[in-house]
Amino acid sequence: MKKKQYSTLSKVLTLLFALLCLVWIMPIVEVAINSFKTNASINTNAFALPNAETFTRLENYIKGLTFGNYPFVKAFGYSLFITVVSVALILLFTSMTAWYIARVNSRFSKIFYYLCLFSMIVPFQMVMFTLTFTADAIGSGLTIGGIHPLPLNTPFGIPIVYLGFGAGMAIFMFVGFIKGLPLEIEEATAIDGCGPIKTFFMVVLPMLTPTLISVGILETMWVWNDYLLPYLVLDRTKYMTIPILVQYLKGSYGSVDLGATMAVIMLSIIPIIIVYIFCQKYIIKGVAAGAVKG
Amino acid sequence: MNSILVRRPIQRCFPLFILPTFLCFIIGFVWPFIQGIYLSFCNFNTPRDAEWVALENYIKTFQDASFIHAFWNTAGFAIISIVLINVCAFAIAYALTQKMHGANLFRTVFFMPNLIGGVVLGYIWSMIFDAILKRYGTYLTANATYGFWGLVILVAWQQIGYMMIIYIAGIQSISEDMIEAAKIDGASGWQTLTRVIVPNVMSSITICTFLTLTNSFKLFDQNLALTGGAPSVIMSGAKVNMTELLALNIYSTYNISKNYHGVAQAKAVIFFLLVAVLAIAQQWFTRSKEVQQ
């Protein structure tokens, strides 16, 4: 008797959650539907399904790809480049720094570590104006032999800014993990005559894999979706990332061509959903692990 | 921690292990932070033409009706979101950790909105809200109440999934034996929940309230994309954007004209102090309630 009751409750719960999940994805489904409709039809009834008259096939998408005089592919490319390079830089350099901080008990290590903790509670608004000045001053002001060696205000230099502003959290997480690793392994490699660089890359880095995954996921989610930092730092007439392009389109074309804007939004969501479907196990694990440390 | 055998060789590699990160950290954080504090006491267009005005910017900030309004807006928004997001996220996490079909699929769906950027989310929801409100002959930015609650719904939709993941991890780490023991002692489902599960996930509650608190105070992208602060009214001689939160207020102050750059930076310093004090106070408060094991 008891067993039967339990299973009905479980069935009701399952049904309830299935419905709730449908509601949850509704906003995205709405955008998907509207991206195939004519402007007039989106305007009069955004919730209606497209019919023979209002269905536009891929017209909105074709328009969306070159919408606003800025090709979507270009924004996508910049977003991808900035994200991949920034996250790679952050993972490589902060894990090295964290190993130094965890293993070398100097005053410098301590000060740097506390500065990192401090930087985690400083909101971006506190430094956004001055960071823009600094990036411009170094990016355009510093010239050696006619070229700018550190173009911080372009997509090619902005990963340096991300490494600087994002170092705090990454170092904090890596130090926490490294302090839990047994010192004996590194001592053994030192006795065997292995230098610190080799030790780090051949012994320590492989042991850091779980933390590398969670830091990598958290930083990717941040950099890929970040709007304000690239908006302020980059020259917007030349370089746009996807969030900048979407905001720009909304401001200047959103009311003019809803259909094409919906298509651009879909184009920006689809890659994320594809990555999510394949890596959801790692993403969810990474977030849970990251939060427990924080 | 202090094995000389390991420490010495690493110390020799200081230029490789520390310098690149440290220099970037100076460029990306330390220098802008220090310059930010200095410029909050100046009138400036660029740092080169900064002119010391002492506390003038701070005085102007506290006389600015739009800043005061944004503060109360943010405080109200933060309280509502913290309660709403944490209660929903915990309830969903609790349900999904019971025996249920498709729990993994549901978890995946609830988490998904987190992966989409704030600007895109804001735009999606402004379309949805406008479509709904159109049936009643109005629109999202017509009334500050719509914009405020619209933002609450948007942020809840985005963050419930994230907090749910943290609560699920917390609930799953409670040992089966403890729950079994409570059942054998005759505890009802509700008693098990409130007397066993909740006290044992206090550390998850600490993390989630901390994250929701700081997230709501720092919220910017969603606010900008959903309403951009509209509608605005004139209040005691100043333009006040009714649905603006603090972070957006700082940004829009800066964009009024170059005479307001110093005021915007002073607001940013106050904003930083506020976030820092809240974050530290919250940590201290909930940590004291955690179960020691």
The pLDDT-based confidence of B1 (bands split at 50, 70, 90) is very low
B183 and B44 inside one domain? no
Mutate to test the interface with B, among A17, A94, A252 (most CBs of B within 10 A): A17
pLDDT above 60 (res B283): yes
CB A212 within 8 A of CB A95: yes
Condensed to tens digits (0 to 9), the pLDDT of residues B183-217 reads 888 888 888 888 889 988 988 998 899 899 999 99
B119 and B28 inside one domain? no
**What is the pTM for the complete model shown?**
0.91
Q: Give CA–CA dist B221/B226, Å, rounded.
A: 8
B123 and B204 inside one domain? yes
B133 and B247 inside one domain? yes
B68 and B110 inside one domain? yes
- The CATH number of the domain holding residue B101 is 1.10.3720.10
Range of the domain at B124: 59-287
B9 and B135 inside one domain? no
pLDDT above 80 (res A6): no
- Choosing from B56, B75, B100, the residue where a domain stops is B56
Task: Flag whether B140 is in a domain.
Answer: yes
Q: Give CA–CA dist B95/A31, Å, rounded.
A: 29
CB A36 within 8 A of CB A62: no
CB B9 within 8 A of CB A196: yes
B166 and B108 inside one domain? yes
CB-based contacts of A170: which residues, under 8 Å, 6+ apart?
A90, A91, A94, A95, A98, A215, A219
B162 and B228 inside one domain? yes
Number of compact structural domains in chain B: 2
What's the mean pLDDT in B147-157? 96
Task: Flag whether B184 is in a domain.
Answer: yes
What's the mean pLDDT in B218-222? 94
CB A187 within 8 A of CB B6: yes
- Choosing from B14, B39, B56, the residue where a domain stops is B56
Mutate to test the interface with B, among A16, A126, A199, A272 (most CBs of B within 10 A): A126
CB atoms within 10 A of CB B52: 10
Condensed to tens digits (0 to 9), the pLDDT of residues A48-63 reads 788 877 787 788 898 8
Domain A67-252 CATH (choose: 1.50.10.10, 1.20.1740.10, 1.10.3720.10, 3.40.50.150): 1.10.3720.10
CB B208 within 8 A of CB B166: yes
Question: Looking at chain B from residue 119 to 178, which residues have their Cβ under 8 Å from any Cβ of chain A?
Answer: 119-120, 123-125, 127-128, 130-131, 134, 157, 162, 165-166, 168-169
| CA of B25 vs chain A CAs: smallest distance (Å) | 4
- Residue showing tokens 């023991």: B181
Structural Rg of chain B based on CA atoms? 24
Q: Give CA–CA dist A125/B273, Å, rounded.
A: 12
Q: Give CA–CA dist B77/B229, Å, rounded.
A: 14
The domain ranges of chain A are: 67-252
